[in-house]
Amino acid sequence: MKRELTLNKLPAKVLAQLDLETVFIASRCAIAAERLQVFRKLDGKELSAAQIAQRAGIHRKHCEPFLNYLVFLGLLKKRGNLYRNSQLVIKHFLKARSIDWTRLWSYECVRDFEALTVMEEVISTGRGWRKILGKERKTDYELVQEDRQWARDFTYALYDYDRPNAEILARNLELSNYRKLLDVGGGSGVMSFALVRANPKLTTCILEYPLVCEVANEIIRKERLSRRVKTLAGDMNKAIPRGFDVIMFWNIGFITTQVMKMAYRSLPEGGMVVRNCSLPLKPKTLPPSAFLHGYLSVRPQGQSGPDIIKSLEDASFTAVKCRQISKNLGVITAHKRNIRKRRVPER
Ligand SMILES: C[S@@+](CC[C@H](N)C(=O)[O-])C[C@H]1O[C@@H](n2cnc3c(N)ncnc32)[C@H](O)[C@@H]1O
């Protein structure tokens, strides 16, 4: 998830008072404020502690001290006995995030806090934090299939999050010779929107689980792209439909070679497959984020660039190319070969 409000944006005098051992308290307060939607209740308003207590459901005993702590952090401003949002909050918590993002992000942060309470046991025994705490949970992709609210929050959160990457992809993917793109696991459709806007002759279809299709249809209507972006409820592991000259798999996690083979069969000759990959292709050392990623292990793991390339080749794709399109992001394209018809010798 995108971390917008990095610590260097906090006032220097605040940072000087936060120490490494207790900085988590400041972080937890910001998350509590987000979960209680304090910043959204204050959007465009100045309110007293009593008014905020009532609207956000905060106990009287804690409300003023809690709000004053948010003032100390530079998240709220206080004038007399009235509180309002600071510019930091307006920019990073309100303008940069939808309400769905707020719900999902703050839920994930609380889960992270819980997960970290058993760190010593996790790193000394190798057992997962969920097992230790008895908090087994379904995977993201199981949840999007059965929990309507979760599918909605997840899809809207990614709609916000993926927009900058969508613009980058649209500037860097040559599609002028193609007409119909299948956006497998296309989520909100954010990638499709940027691609059809950059390619006036292109139409796309998002292949997604039914609950995600419902959300995507709503977003497509808001984007006024109903004629050019459609949805199709399905499961890529079961079938990849025909009728498309490009099949894209963008940011879906692990994809089996079996699915790549189905994509190969569904494409016409000369058709293209598109996949994302993270860069560098062969990292020399693990990034610092790898520790938390492995520890928390909530997102479906993706595949390394070399694994994706091998899987495409195993599925018979040719002309496999990987290009860097931003600092950390690469796009892999490959083609279904044009098989020239062999002349049948005349008898
Ligand atoms: C991380 S999201 C990315 C969405 C979109 N491609 C983007 O880049 O914004 C992955 C999406 O893949 C979908 N997905 C995962 N497995 C799928 C499957 N077997 N069939 C169809 N969709 C799937 C999920 O529902 C989810 O919306």
Residues 71 and 165 in one domain: no
pLDDT band at 5 (very low <50, low <70, confident <90, very high): confident
Checking if the pLDDT of 342 tops 70, the result is no
Residues 191 and 273 in one domain: yes
- Cβ-contact 230, 205 below 8 angstroms: yes
Q: Which of 95, 111, 132 is the last residue of a domain?
A: 95
Q: Which of 77, 95, 113 is the last residue of a domain?
A: 95
Specify the pLDDT at position 97.
81
Q: Report the CATH number that the domain containing residue 46 is assigned in CATH.
A: 1.10.10.10
The answer, yes or no, to whether any atom of ligand 1 lies below 6 A from the CB of 326, is no
Q: Which of 151, 165, 174 is nearest to 193 (CA)?
A: 165
Q: Report the CATH number that the domain containing residue 252 is assigned in CATH.
A: 3.40.50.150
Total count of domains within the chain: 2
pLDDT band at 261 (very low <50, low <70, confident <90, very high): very high
The answer, yes or no, to whether any atom of ligand 1 lies below 6 A from the CB of 252, is yes
Specify the pLDDT at position 1.
47
For 147, list phi and psi in degrees, rounded to 5: -120, 105
Q: Cα separation of 66 and 294, whole Å?
A: 33
The answer, yes or no, to whether any atom of ligand 1 lies below 6 A from the CB of 207, is yes
The answer, yes or no, to whether any atom of ligand 1 lies below 6 A from the CB of 189, is no
Specify the pLDDT at position 100.
80
- From 145, 152, 205, 209, the mutation candidate for ligand 1 (largest count of ligand atoms within 8 A of CB) is 209
Has residue 33 been placed in a domain?
yes
Under DSSP, the state recorded for 22 is: T
Residues 170 and 85 in one domain: no
The answer, yes or no, to whether any atom of ligand 1 lies below 6 A from the CB of 208, is yes
264-318 pLDDT tens trace: 999 999 999 999 998 777 777 777 777 887 888 666 667 888 999 999 999 999 9
- From 154, 235, 252, the mutation candidate for ligand 1 (largest count of ligand atoms within 8 A of CB) is 252
Give me the domain span that covers residue 168.
157-282+293-335
Q: What is the arithmetic mean of pLDDT over 55-69?
A: 97
Q: Residue 78: count other Cβ atoms within 10 Å of its Cβ.
A: 14
The answer, yes or no, to whether any atom of ligand 1 lies below 6 A from the CB of 216, is no
- Claim: this prediction has a pTM higher than 0.75: yes
Of residues 241 and 128, more confidently modeled: 241
| Residue % of the chain over a pLDDT of 70 | 95
User: Closest residue (by CA) to atom 14 of ligand 1?
Assistant: 185
- Of 27-36, 195-204, 300-309, 324-333, give the lowest mean pLDDT range: 300-309
- Cβ-contact 83, 33 below 8 angstroms: no
The answer, yes or no, to whether any atom of ligand 1 lies below 6 A from the CB of 264, is no
Checking if the pLDDT of 50 tops 90, the result is yes
Q: What is the arithmetic mean of pLDDT over 87-114?
A: 88
Q: What is the arithmetic mean of pLDDT over 191-206?
A: 98
The answer, yes or no, to whether any atom of ligand 1 lies below 6 A from the CB of 141, is yes
225-255 pLDDT tens trace: 999 999 999 999 999 999 999 999 999 989 9
Q: Which of 57, 79, 95 is the last residue of a domain?
A: 95
Q: Cα separation of 86 and 9, whole Å?
A: 12
Residues 175 and 301 in one domain: yes
For 299, list phi and psi in degrees, rounded to 5: -80, 145
Q: Residue 96: count other Cβ atoms within 10 Å of its Cβ.
A: 13
Q: Cα separation of 94 and 45, whole Å?
A: 13
Greatest alpha-carbon pair distance for the chain in Å reads 100
